[in-house]
Amino acid sequence: MNPEIATVLPPYAQPPLNPGRIAELLRKYDRQGPRYTSYPPATQFANVEVSRYLDALADGKCQDPLSLYIHIPFCSSPCYYCGCNKIVTRNRVQVRHYLEHLRREMALLRLQSSLHQRPVTQLHLGGGTPTFLDDAELTELVHLTAHYFRLVQDENRDYAIEIDPRTVDRSRIELIRGLGFNRISLGIQDFDPQVQKAINRIQPVDMIERLVGDIRARAFGSLNFDLIYGLPKQTLKSVEDTLREVIRLAPDRISYYNYAHLPERFAAQRAIHTEDLPPPGVKLEMLTLVIRTLTDAGYLYLGMDHFVKMDDPLAIAQANGTLCRNFQGYSIHKAEDLVGLGVSSISNIHGMFVQNAAQLNTYYQALDENRLPVVKGRESTQEDVLRRDIIQQLSCYRFLDIARIEREYGIDFEEHFNLLLPELEQLERDGLLSLATPGKLFVSAEGSLLLRNICMVFDEYLRQDTPSKPTFSRVI
Ligand code: SF4
């Protein structure tokens, strides 16, 4: 974002603590919607020419920073709440086969583009379970990546890995740090033993405490906890107890997601008994409890499920206008272009989105035939670019500089978004935003809890009547 925006940003009001008012608003606005880690959302991807992707890659300059995402799809046991693209297996031979194909994908990209010359300022290993790989395999993967891409050493790089706490010990943490990772995200979900049993993910709090100690001792740049509310067997009391442990362990960043129960879409969720799920009213109270407790404990509510310590680089980036949102959630704006490697990964090169095959067989077959495993994607239209800019700005800064949008895109905002004005006015009447200052849209403290709903107003695709509407998670 440009410095101009930073000068007009409102002071970030923390979300309000009036539970009655929040409940009323959340009840009114609870509906399905995308999380806007991309716009258009991946549900809009369709057939795409790989050559168009290669053309987009060719447009990048050698010095342009690059973000890399590598997907490791394997997990050793299923967590029942899971909606990720993963393969549950104990068969370690699969890893060898997968690493070999990742190598082929990297080699093909190196052969067909100049990506390898660009400094990788951000690297993210996600899954599945990246730590399903043993020490030798993890080392091999990082060496492969360093062979085919330009990894950088400077401490400002963001090299992150998602860790399943059940798969690592102190020596593995040391190895991960030694391999160059400086950010860790731990999948916690909930500390209550009953809840852990109901989701098939047992990881006692003392195990996490030891792990946090090991991570702190290795001076990682940041530690993130992933947590979920709305899980089976969760109660207000169990969430309160979990929050107490979270605050005691003091991660730098916290992602607190809403559990989306979509058993018709995710087979693993069929193991969850619907009667064990907290009813919507209780879920609502959980959300307000989470926000109140974490903000009281000194965390900044960044927006859309994320909390950070006040001195965290993401908090600073929000204040100085360098925050962005991508497939991994909030991030500091370090690289425009993202290349995703591995099954189901998504790349974004100058607004040209492509996605790899989601099935291992299709992914392997393409690479065996020396083809990039891209199966779908989308080239952004000028309208997509405009709306993406608006959605990014709202989700990162809870503010929209309408005057800048008009200048940059050569539009008259009221005329261009004429059809949306009644919705924006309704949101204003409900106190979620203000249009009172000419040329500016400010999201209120209440509105910051419903950022997804405000972004949804600008989502052209949600309005389209398609025969099979995609299913998104609910806002609450
Ligand atoms: S939640 Fe993570 S570890 Fe559990 S099954 Fe899903 S991808 Fe695997």
Average pLDDT, the chain: 90
Average pLDDT over residues 172-179: 97
What CATH code is assigned to 44-341?
A: 3.80.30.20
Residue 5 pLDDT exceeds 50: no
Ligand 1 site-directed mutation target among 88, 129, 226, 231, most atoms within 8 Å of CB: 129
Predicted TM-score (pTM) of the model is: 0.91
Question: Which atom in ligand 1 lies closest to the alpha carbon of residue 268?
Answer: 5
pLDDT(1) > 70: no
Ligand 1: residues whose CB is within 6 Å? Answer: 75, 78-79, 82, 84, 86, 127-129, 164, 187
Confidence of residue 19 (pLDDT cuts 50, 70, 90): low
Cα distances from 117 to residues 23, 62, 130, 169, in angstroms, run 51, 5, 26, 35
Per-residue pLDDT tens over the stretch 261-317: 999 989 999 999 999 999 877 887 898 899 889 999 999 999 888 999 999 999 999
Domains of the chain: which residue ranges? 3-37+381-463, 44-341
Domain 3-37+381-463, second-level architecture: Orthogonal Bundle (1.10)
Cα-to-centroid distance, 86 and ligand 1 (Å): 7
For residue range 332-360, what is the model confidence (pLDDT) as tens digits?
Answer: 877 889 999 999 999 999 889 999 999 99
Per-residue pLDDT tens for 202-258?
999 999 999 999 999 999 999 999 999 999 999 999 999 999 999 999 999 999 999
Say if residue 447 is preceded by a cis peptide, omega within 30 of 0: no
Q: Is 90 exceeded by the pLDDT of residue 137? A: yes
